[in-house]
Amino acid sequence: MESLLHISTLHYLVLGAALFLLGVIGVLTRRNVVIVLMSIELILNAVNLNLVAFSRMWGGMHGQVFAIFVITDAAAEAAVGLGILIAFFRNKETVNVDEVNLLKW
């Protein structure tokens, strides 16, 4: 009980791991590309949570700076991913990830 009420780094890490798992499940099981992309965002956020928690643990700022870089990455990834999605939708009229099995059409 004491360990539950005293919030330590481990609590944040477990939360991050749970979020990561949810993201992985989403990526591996969903068909809709949009939701797959959102699951990837969940994964990136889980990573960010860990980074910030570690930054707090060690008292440095490096983790936070790295989290900012990850957010930048996430923005780039979302932009390109959604661009591909739109191009894909225009050609195939579907947003299902398991129908992207042709290298050309």
Partner 1 sequence: MTDQTTLPHLDLDSGEKPFLDANELVINMGPQHPATHGVLRVILRLDGEKVLGLECVIGYLHRGVEKIGEHRTYTMFNPYVDRMDYVAAVSNGLGYCETVEKLLNVEAPPRAQHVRVILTELNRIASHQLWLGTHALDIGAITPLFYTFRDREEILKIYEKYCGARLTTHAFRIGGLQYETYLGFEKEVKNFLNFFRPKIDEYEELLTTNRIWVERTKNVGVISGEDCIALGVTGPVLRASGVKWDLRKAQPYANYKNFDFEIPTGTNGDTYDRYLVRMVEMRQSVRIIEQAVDALPEGPIMAKVPKVMKPPAGEVYHSIEAPKGELGYFIVSDGSTQPYRVRVRPPSFVNLQALDKMCRGQLVADVIAVIGTLDIVLGEVDR
Partner 2 sequence: MAPVATPFFFYLFAAIMLIGGILVITRRNPVHSAVALIVTLLAQASIYLMLYAPFVAGVQIILYAGGIMVLFLFVIMLVSIDRSLRERQFNSQWLIGLIAALALGGLFIAVYLKGKNIFPERPLSIMESDNTQRVATLLYGQYMFAFEIASLLLLVAIIGAVVMAKRRI
Residues 66-105 binding partner 1 (CB under 8 A) are 86, 89-90, 93
Q: What angle do CA 102, 41, 28 make, to 5 degrees?
A: 50
Does 11 interact with partner 2 (rule: CB under 8 A)?
yes
CB-hemisphere CA count at 13 Å for 15?
Answer: 14
Tell which positions 33-72 bind partner 2, by CB under 8 A.
34-35, 37-39, 41-42, 45, 48-49, 52-53, 55-59, 61-62, 64-65, 67-69, 71-72
Structure tokens at 93: 């009229």
CB 54 within 8 A of CB 9: yes
103 binds, among partner 1, partner 2, none (CB under 5 to 8 A by kind): none
Size of the site for partner 2 (CB under 8 A): 75
Does 86 interact with partner 2 (rule: CB under 8 A)?
yes
92 binds, among partner 1, partner 2, none (CB under 5 to 8 A by kind): none
Q: Cβ-count burial of 101 within 10 angstroms (0-12 exposed, 13-18 middle, 19+ buried)?
A: exposed
